[in-house]
Amino acid sequence: MEDEFKEESMDTKAPSMLLPALIAGGSLGFVSGLPISNCACCLWAVGAGFFAAFLYSKNCRAAGSVFDTGKGGVLGLLTGAVFGVVGSVINSIFSLLTGGLDIESMREAIEANPMISDPEAAEQALQIFESIGPMFFVLTIALIWIILGVLLAALGGLIGGSVFKVSAVPPDSGGGWSSYPPPMAPGGNEPPPPPPAAPADTY
């Protein structure tokens, strides 16, 4: 009964995961959407989940709530959703502004890339892209970005949950009230009797 009461009291004190997810997912999602850093978007996603776990562990420690690997994974899923939406929007905006979705620009980039070993396959991909239109391509990239962000940020949250694990703080650890009953006398159900009073001095 006492353990159940303590579990319920700790659950009610659990802080919200929304703010750490918004801070970590939004900031690192913005960075991952920039043209100079989106090549490492997978690492940014893992880092977002890990950073959110760090922020949330501080809140849990202040509130006396438990934070473990399971909660880290849930926090990572929420952070990944924010990360994917912000990153895909920023990436799409920069692609439209800089002409990154222009067919001719993409063809020139492919021809100048020495790592592409099959130019014919790349040309077929460009033709498919031209037939479906750039907006459909943007939506497809955004969906992939969100899915990868959720999965990888969840991984970062799991890692962060194990690194920044927070155990429960007893209610009376800070000098406040205590929910524990008084000690019982050996072999009985009653508290131990008070010590005998000192004899009064007589003259």
What are the tokens at 5? 């009461």
Say what percent of the chain tops pLDDT 90: 37
For residue 30, being part of any structural domain is answered with: yes
More confident residue, 120 or 17: 17
Under DSSP, the state recorded for 171 is: T
3-state secondary structure of 166: strand
Segment 116-137, tens digit of pLDDT:
667 777 777 777 776 766 677 7
For residue 194, being part of any structural domain is answered with: no
Centre a 10 Å sphere on the Cβ of residue 117 and count the other Cβ atoms it contains: 7
More confident residue, 24 or 125: 24
Q: What does 58-116 look like in DSSP terms, one character per residue?
A: HHHHHHT--B-HHHHHHHHHHHHHHHHHHHHHHHHHHHHHHTTT-HHHHHHHHHH-TT-
* Local confidence band at 191 (pLDDT 50, 70, 90 cut-offs): low
Asked whether the beta carbons of 91 and 33 are under 8 A apart, the reply is yes
For residue 76, being part of any structural domain is answered with: yes
- The pLDDT score that the predictor gives to residue 4 is 47
What are the tokens at 178? 């205590």
Number of structural domains in the chain: 1
Look up the domain containing 99 and give its range.
14-163
For residue 99, being part of any structural domain is answered with: yes
pTM for this prediction? 0.65
Segment 134-185, tens digit of pLDDT:
677 778 888 888 999 999 999 999 999 999 999 876 544 444 434 445 555 5
For residue 18, being part of any structural domain is answered with: yes
Asked whether the beta carbons of 72 and 160 are under 8 A apart, the reply is yes
For residue 141, being part of any structural domain is answered with: yes
For residue 48, being part of any structural domain is answered with: yes
For residue 42, being part of any structural domain is answered with: yes
